[in-house]
Amino acid sequence: MKKTNSVYKICLIALAVVINIVGGNIALWLHLPIYLDSMGTILIAILLGPFYGMLPNVLSGFIFGLTTDIYSLYYAPVGIMLGFMTGMIVKDQKKRSIGSLTLQAFWISIPVSLLSACITAALFGGITSSGSTVLVQILAKTPLGLMGSCFVVQFVTDYADRLISLWLMMLVIQKLPSSILMRFQQNKV
């Protein structure tokens, strides 16, 4: 039984990595101001908890960084924090109201955005491969400065991304068969 559970977890994490890569590539190719590269991470963090939630974004960021977007490698700490924060904040899968998702996305986005803004400002001078780079460069000329503009833009885009990702992953979880959901609720996975 323990071997089956380990295989089950590995397969779920692999699925999450694929979801992250596909979502990230769609956002990158369409130059969207949101990222969509953390939906799988959010799914795993909700289903398996914070420690497993840290894995998918690191793995997908590594693959994404080697194949499509080199910037992804530098944001591995952001993915780790996202998985951990999501697993800690979104513990109860039954809280699916728009109000609770909005609040959860807000609390997840604050520390993740702060870390991401620090990386963007310190390593890249506010320039990345995302569609929000133009906004950062415009706001950097205001009294906010580079770090402030990175945080403001990062928070707005992260919040929108987290809200959309949380909502979509909650829809996915609702559609899972009850036998699979029971395994998660009884910690048999």
Task: Give the number of C-alpha atoms closer than 13 A to the C-alpha of residue 7, restricted to the C-beta side.
Answer: 4
Q: What percent of the chain has pLDDT over 70?
A: 95
Top mean-pLDDT range of 28-42, 93-107, 128-142: 28-42
**Mean pLDDT, residues 43-50:** 94
- Is 33 within 8 Å of 132 (Cβ atoms)? yes
User: What is the tally of structural domains in the chain?
Assistant: 1
- Is 40 within 8 Å of 18 (Cβ atoms)? yes
Helix (H, G, I), strand (E, B) or coil at 88: helix
Question: What gap in Å lies between CA 86 and CA 66, rounded to an integer?
Answer: 26
Checking if the pLDDT of 44 tops 70, the result is yes
* pLDDT digit string, tens, across residues 74-97: 999 999 999 999 999 997 766 678
pLDDT of the residue at 128: 78
Do you know the residue count of the chain?
A: 189
* pLDDT digit string, tens, across residues 127-162: 877 767 888 888 989 999 999 999 999 999 999 999
Checking if the pLDDT of 21 tops 90, the result is yes
Question: What gap in Å lies between CA 25 and CA 20, rounded to an integer?
Answer: 8
Question: What gap in Å lies between CA 31 and CA 53, rounded to an integer?
Answer: 26
* Helix 39-48 and helix 55-67, axial crossing angle in degrees, nearest 10: 160
pLDDT of the residue at 13: 96
At residue 65's C-alpha, the angle toward residues 50 and 9, to 5°, is: 35
Of 43-52, 120-129, 154-163, the poorest mean pLDDT is in 120-129
Checking if the pLDDT of 1 tops 60, the result is no
**Mean pLDDT, residues 107-128:** 94
Question: What gap in Å lies between CA 49 and CA 54, rounded to an integer?
Answer: 9
Domain range spanning residue 70?
2-185
176 Cβ contact partners less than 8 Å away, ≥ 6 residues apart: none
pLDDT of the residue at 51: 95
Instruction: Name the residue among 88, 91, 94 with its Cα closest to residue 108.
Output: 88
pLDDT of the residue at 158: 93
CATH number of 21's domain: 1.10.1760.20
pLDDT of the residue at 187: 67
Of 23-32, 100-109, 176-185, the poorest mean pLDDT is in 176-185
